[in-house]
Amino acid sequence: MKIGVIGLGRMGRGIAGRVLGAGHDLAVHNRTSGKDADLVAAGAQSVASIALACEQRDVVVTMLADDAALDAVALGAGGVRDSLPVGAIHMVMGTHGVGIVRALTAAHAASGQTLVAAPVLGRPDAAASGQLGIVAAGPAEALQRCKPLFDAIGRRTFEAGASPDAATSIKLANNFMLGCAVQAMGEAYSLVRRFGVAPQVLHDVMTEGLFSAPAYKVYGRIMADEAYDNVGFTTRLALKDMSLVLAAGDMARVPLPSASLLRDRLLAAIAHGDADRDWAVLAREQARTAGLE
């Protein structure tokens, strides 16, 4: 297949590498130059514009940081909507809001194209090794066409139905639940520290008992070791996601009180200079409120 990938951050580079490794014809574009050298060395074509990344492509993947970037790349002059061939697919793999995904679905349909929402579950190391989970939604025929890409990029694809915003809502809900787990662990670590317990002991109790899931193992270890500069997902991006979760709740008239708390804690962590650290730094923010920092 002829594939374009737009957005070569930590996740985008991993995804592009998996697509290239599966033997697809790959064109890559990134707003900031210099991030595609390893991909070009492996056989990808580096292109200077969004339009060239879309030219004669079957599928164009975008992996972008936020809704503003997606809107500019997809709907701006010379963007994906203007440049993608009729019948081609725009696969949105970043974490975005329900509103922008609905707007893009309509815009691509009006241009004879198809939107597939396929947000991913996992950190950058999982992207590079093909171990991402993928939540995919869109017309059945489009999902079938994208299956070779899903198989190359991820360990499992969870099909969420024909409406792209279904995948969007699942990804937001998943990140919301993960955020609640991160916040709860931060509170628990502060509690045991007050009783003179080393955080590593609580981590072992959690992960060898009732909380043996990857969320507790990975983020619990980062917290116990205070390895917040080992960044997989920044506090800044987490704040973006919790704002999207709350917006989705407003749209659906669903109260999300825990999301409001998370947003406030993330704002406080950013105010304390932790915007670009891993969002597990919520444990440090909790420790501050407990007088431990």
Query: Which residues are tagged catalytic?
Result: 171
- What whole-number distance in Å separates Cα of residue 76 and Cα of residue 6? 14
Handedness of CA 86, 89, 94, 99 (dihedral sign): positive
